[in-house]
A and B are shown apart, each in its own frame.
Chain A
Amino acid sequence: MSALDAKIKFNIEAAEHELFRDENIRRKRRDSRARTLTILAVTGVVVYFICLFLPDNITVNAWQHNLAWYFEMTQKNISVFFNTLAGREVSSTRWHISQYIIVALVGAALSVNGAVYQGAFRNALASPTTLGVQTGGVLGGTIYVLFVYREPEMNAITYALEEARNRSLFERFGQAFFIMAGCFLMVAFVLFVARRMSGGGRLSSIGLILSGLVFGGAAGSALGLIQYYLLMNDPEGSRTYALRYMMMGTFDYVFTPLHLLLIGAPIVVCIAIVMLLRRKLNLLAFGEDEARTMGINVDVIRRIAIGVSTVLTAVIISFCGMIGFIGFMVPHVARRMVGPDFNYLIPGSALLGALIMMVVFHVGRAFGLASTIGLMTSLVGGSIFMVILVYYRRRGHADWA
């Protein structure tokens, strides 16, 4: 081959490279996102098993800080795990398996929820509680405690395991169902009011947020009054305690396969629906008018998004209580990792959310703080988010939100 041929070949290659540069970049980004998702998924699975195998729920005095002890505990846990799966041994491990699956699903659902809200409202501060879902839950729970609640004869966990088999579904999960109904009612009311206020026409996003804020706030303060009244007049009554601990975020009472079915099925379905909507949500990010000119029915999409998110939030807060900050923080972090494309953002936030939730839950269990997991997520999640914010901002990345 002469020097001229080599030169011509080189030029052709350079031209091809130039021609397909954009395509190459796009392909490279797609690959890197897919890789990130795979890494997250694998990490999630690994963390799931590590959480199951590492010692937990051990009193502080029984901790031994040497490697051999950890190996021993892990080995014991592994044998128990496989024996349980094979049905040879009945131990609490079988509850732990469903509990950890629930924890992962809840983390995923909360994060997806936050991503959808932030996309649908185009507001970085929107979180699942923006439309008054939480107040609705308090409303339902308050009605339940005031009119249906009967004093439990035994510990809730014992009850869930032994006594519950003879009861109907409603008797077992009455409070959860009431809270769920309250959530739906409140969101429907806020949507209705916002619609009436906008003159029956389009739902503007700031109108929705404002009415959620104000009506949620008013209803919430009226309900707080009931709690205060009970506290004043009957400080030691069981209803007072029930009201106070009604919406506390905890996974203590969800650990049977039935719970897994009741919580997991809606979550999986809703995440699937959101995945189907991902391209439309991408277009919505351009702004309402632009999305409309691209042939998107903005109102319908936003209503579906709100409906799905409400179902997710309602399921979670009715069974597990309020779990703060995951829904606000994880989408922001996931956006840094996989970019703002909903095609990758939704699976990314789901996996990252599941991961963080499991880690927080396991750390909480190990230190005996699992009963107040909703508060732990606020604390841990908030601190992580703050560090990331300061770190990235100082380096000049200013593209949050």
Chain B
Amino acid sequence: MPIGLDAAGVPRNNHKRYMRLLLGGVLLLFALSLCIRIASRGFQSPADVFKSLWLWADIHISRLTHGGAWLNRSALMAERGVGYYEAYGRLLISGVTFVCGMLLALAGSIFQSVFRNPMAAPSMLGVGTGIQAGLIVMALTYGEATLYMPLEKYTYCYAFALTMLALVMGVAKLSSGKRKFSVFDLLIVAAIVSQIIGGVTSYFVYGMDNSFALVLQNLSNVLNVNTEPVSIAMLAAVTALTVIPFFLMRFSFNAVCFDSDESNSMGLNTRVVKFISLVLGSLMMTAGMVHCGAVGMVSLIVPFISRGLFGAESRGLFWGNLLIGGLVLLLCRDIAFFVPFSVDGMPIGTVVDLVTLPVFVAVITGRRRTWE
């Protein structure tokens, strides 16, 4: 595995040490967040959590082999009590959150290397506006029932986000005519299209009743992570669709960081790579925002941190982004749960904004000025 190798292939101790520390931190935080209770704000003992998860694994393995634990499951579960459901639920919640963080961080790093601009956020291509439009249409169509319709929510959100992306790309293509497709075109077109769609949607937001507005807020803030099988399947599908191509193309992303002429001369079709990476990044961003709420800041900040720790090399950055993104989002989710804002804690987006603020200040006061 090419972690911590510099350009010449010489192992660099610092990178390896950081990676080990990071892995340890992730495992520790994951274990900690498994111990958090769901029914009340507190912790279970790690031993109980371990036993519950062991039982869960046992039941599901013996389900395949028709073993005793599967046949006797209700008694075994009743013996463990509510702690069993809490541990199992926490496992799903933490897993979903971690994967969302991974996706967001990867999306941010893709966009920053393709646009060669440290300010490029994946929501710039109108994905965020598309999701918002989808949620508004849903809230106006189904009312309060929306909160219990995960499959429809995903359908609407992904459909609107992808339509928005296609619209932006199409108009940018139209406006660039026969000339080359420029990044500036894309950004300005995306800003305008988002503004128009945002204008239409906010017209409906101003017109809607307070009850609908509350539904909309609940939908877009994602106070409690949905862990129904359909959500897990959806997230797994999107993750597989995006992370595997990204992993296979990580060498190309190194080359895209150069000028397009230079990367063309390296035998790379820059336009194809850029197009693929924009679509991949937007999909990842959509998945992160649909499953975890308005947490776009993760994709802006995490690539900075990981570039500071592991250098600008895409292959090492890949693993760094995965782990740091998951770590940051999981940490924010845990903090959010403990703030008594409502029954389910507070919206994770606010926590992400406030937690990443000091990091941002540190990044731009830092001497290295990677952002300029």
Interface residues of A (CB under 8 A from B): 124-125, 193, 197, 204, 206-207, 209-211, 213-215, 217-218, 221-222, 224-225, 228-229, 231-232, 235-236, 240-241, 244-245, 248, 324-325, 328, 372, 375-379, 382-383, 385-386, 389-390, 393-394, 396, 398, 400-401
Q: Is the interface of B mostly helix, strand, loop or mixed?
A: helix
Question: Residue on B with the closest CB to A194?
Answer: B364
B177 at the interface (CB under 8 A from A): yes
Q: Which B residues, 356 to 372, have Cβ-Cβ distances below 8 Å to chain A?
A: 357, 360-361, 364-365, 371-372
Are B221 and A228 in contact, with the CB atoms below 8 A? yes
**B241 interface residue per 8 A CB criterion:** no
CB-CB < 8 A to A325: which residues of B? Answer: 195, 199
What separation, in Å, do the CA atoms of A396 and B174 have in the docked complex?
Answer: 12
B350 touches A225 (CB 8 A): yes
- Are the C-beta atoms of A221 and B191 separated by less than 8 Å? no
Of residues 206 to 231 in B, which have CB atoms within 8 Å of A's CB atoms? 206, 210-211, 213-214, 217, 221
CB–CB A390/B174 < 8 A? yes
Answer whether A394 and B174 are a contact pair too, CB < 8 Å, given A225-B346, A324-B199, A400-B188: yes
A309 to chain B, nearest CB (A): 19
By the criterion of a CB under 8 Å from any partner CB, how many residues of chain B are at the interface?
46
Query: Are A390 and B175 interface neighbours, CB within 8 A?
Result: yes
- The answer on a CB contact under 8 Å between A398 and B179 is yes
A210–B356 alpha-carbon span in the complex (Å): 14
**Chain A, residue nearest B221 (CB):** A228
Q: Is the CB of B210 within 8 A of A394?
A: no
B353 → chain A closest CB, angstroms: 4
Evaluate whether A324 and B177 lie within 8 angstroms (CB atoms) in the complex, with A222-B353, A389-B189 already known. Answer: no
A379 adjacent to B210 (CB under 8 Å) = no
Check if A210 sits within 8 Å of B119, measured CB to CB.
Answer: yes
Alpha-carbon distance between A379 and B204 when the two chains are bound, in angstroms: 13
- Establish whether residues A382 and B177, one from each chain, have CB atoms under 8 Å apart when the complex forms: no
| Beta-carbon contact of A379 and B192 below 8 Å | no
Alpha-carbon distance between A328 and B195 when the two chains are bound, in angstroms: 11
In contact, B195 and A378 (Cβ under 8 angstroms): yes
A residues within 8 A CB of B372? 204, 206
Minimal Cβ-Cβ distance residue in B for A237:
B210
Flag if A379 contacts B177 (CB, 8 Å). Answer: no
Q: Does B320 contact A (CB under 8 A)?
A: no
Please report the C-alpha to C-alpha distance between residue A214 and residue B118 in the assembled complex, in whole angstroms. Answer: 13
> Nearest Cβ distance between residue A281 and chain B, in whole angstroms?
22
Contact status of A382 and B188, CB under 8 A, knowing A241-B210, A390-B174:
no
The answer to whether A125 touches B206 (Cβ under 8 A) is no
B32 within 8 A of partner (CB): no
Whole-angstrom distance between the alpha carbons of A221 and B174 in the complex? Answer: 35
Q: Which residue of A lies closest to B204 (CB)?
A: A375
Given A228-B221, A244-B213, A401-B184, verify A378-B198 contact (CB < 8 Å): yes
Q: Which partner residue on chain B sits nearest A392 by CB separation?
A: B175
Listed from nearest, the 7 A-B pairs whose CB atoms lie closest are A378-B199, A382-B196, A218-B353, A393-B175, A394-B177, A379-B199, A390-B175
Q: Which of A222, A378, A400 has the most C-beta atoms of chain B within 10 angstroms of its own C-beta?
A: A378
Minimal beta-carbon separation of A44 from chain B (angstroms): 25
Contact present for B210 and A386 (CB under 8 Å): no
**Known A-B contacts A206-B372, A231-B217, A383-B196; A244 and B210 likewise in contact (beta carbons under 8 Å):** yes
Query: Known interface pairs A218-B353, A382-B196, A401-B184. Does A248 touch B206 (Cβ–Cβ under 8 Å)?
Result: yes
Query: With contacts A222-B350, A400-B188 known, is A394 near B175, CB below 8 A?
Result: yes
In the complex, which residues of chain A have a beta carbon less than 8 angstroms from the beta carbon of B233? none
- Contacting residue for A240 out of B171, B176, B210, B346, CB 8 A: B210
Asked whether A221 lies within 8 Å of B189 as measured between CB atoms, the reply is no
Task: Assess the A375–B202 pair: CB atoms within 8 A.
Answer: yes
**CB-defined contacts of A324 to chain B, threshold 8 Å:** 195, 199
Contact check, B365 vs A197: say whether CB atoms are below 8 A apart.
yes
Which B residues are CB-close (under 8 A) to A375? 199-200, 202-203, 206
- Is B266 interfacial (CB 8 A cutoff)? no
| Residue among B206, B353, B361 making CB contact with A221, cutoff 8 Å | B353
Tell whether B65 is near chain A: CB-to-CB under 8 Å: no
Closest to B349 in A: A221
* CA distance in complex: A336, B176 (Å): 18
Whether the pair B360, A231 counts as a contact (CB closer than 8 A) is no
Chain B minimum-CB-distance residue to A223: B350
26 contacts across the A-B interface (CB closer than 8 A)? A125-B191, A197-B361, A206-B119, A206-B371, A210-B119, A210-B364, A218-B353, A218-B357, A221-B347, A225-B346, A225-B347, A228-B221, A232-B342, A244-B213, A372-B203, A375-B203, A378-B196, A378-B199, A379-B199, A379-B200, A382-B199, A383-B196, A385-B192, A386-B193, A398-B179, A401-B184
| List of A residues within 8 angstroms of B350 by Cβ | 221-222, 224-225
- How distant is the Cα of A325 from the Cα of B47 in the complex, in angstroms? 58
Given contact pairs A232-B342, A389-B175, A390-B174, A211 touches B364 in the complex (Cβ within 8 A): yes
Q: How far is the CB of B114 from chain A (nearest CB, A)?
A: 18
With both beta carbons as reference points, the residue of chain B lying nearest to A382 in the complex is identified as B196
Q: Is the CB of A389 within 8 A of B196?
A: no
Whether the Cβ atoms of A228 and B195 lie closer than 8 Å is no
Taking a contact as CB atoms under 8 Å apart, the answer to whether B187 and A231 are in contact is no
Contacts of A206 in B (CB 8 A): 119, 371-372
**Interface pair A125/B187, CB less than 8 Å apart:** yes
Given pairs A221-B349, A378-B199, A389-B192, 20 additional interface contacts (CB within 8 A)? A204-B372, A206-B119, A221-B350, A221-B353, A224-B350, A225-B346, A232-B217, A235-B211, A244-B210, A248-B206, A328-B191, A328-B195, A375-B199, A375-B202, A375-B206, A376-B199, A386-B171, A386-B196, A393-B177, A394-B175
